[in-house]
Amino acid sequence: MGQLNLILVGPPGAGKGTQADRLRGDFDLPYYATGDILRAAVKEESELGREAKAYMDKGDLVPDALICKVIMERVDSTEAADGFLLDGFPRTQGQADVLNDALERRGRKLTAALQIDVPDEEVIRRLSGRRTCVKNGHNYHVEFDPPKNEGVCDQDGSRLIQRDDDKPETVRHRLDVFHEQTKPLVDYYEKKGLLRHFDGERPPGEVHAHIRATLATLQLEEKL
């Protein structure tokens, strides 16, 4: 079987984390979320981590080339020899070009960009309904997973709050930024024939089954 080099694309709240967990179990792929990698590199105080921290401390965006270097450190590790799953990178066409060039230099290529599609109103419904307890961070949802007593955590009795980034106006802004950044990226992978769409409004198990079937087809095509 060839490598499975995958990226996950989709708005916040689309269920990328849920699908990533299932794909990791299916194919034993390492999962790299950009934010986690940057924080880990800074914590490890690697040379790239110190360089990234200098930008982050000033509140500046970490340059594409530097983010890609940090990502490629992981891609070059032995755990990613048979493939990887990227989430949150690339975010722009510029980053996609940098990643493509870096993979080509290593004789590797992207297998597919897996886009989980969810309408904006559904994203707002999912995210704005989230509630978190102030004491231990237990999570609830007013519609899908409500507490027994409104506004009170079942587990420790502390107050439940709506995080600022889950407020509807904030979610709308996050979606505007996502669409603005991601449309060129989606077009980029569409033209390369790498984009695969999945209906994120379907139950997670059905989305997972569709992704697995798609990847099985791609693996079969590679053998022919």
Domain boundaries, the chain: 4-120+169-223
The interaxial angle of helices 34-44 and 47-57, nearest 10 deg, is 110
Contacts of 52 (CB under 8 A, 6+ apart): 38, 41, 42, 62, 66, 67, 70
C-alpha R_g of the chain: 19
pLDDT one digit per residue (tens) for the chain, 224 residues: 578 999 999 998 999 989 999 999 999 999 998 878 888 888 888 888 888 888 888 877 788 888 888 888 888 999 999 999 999 889 888 889 989 999 999 999 999 999 999 999 999 999 999 999 999 999 999 999 999 999 999 999 999 999 988 999 999 998 998 898 888 999 999 999 999 999 999 999 999 999 999 999 998 887 76
Strands (E), 152-203: 160-161, 195-199
What is the pTM for the complete model shown? 0.85
Which residues lie below 8 Å from residue 30, measured CB to CB, with a gap of 6+?
24, 74, 77, 79, 80, 84, 85
Active site residues: 16, 91, 130, 163, 174
Which class is domain 4-120+169-223? Answer: alpha beta
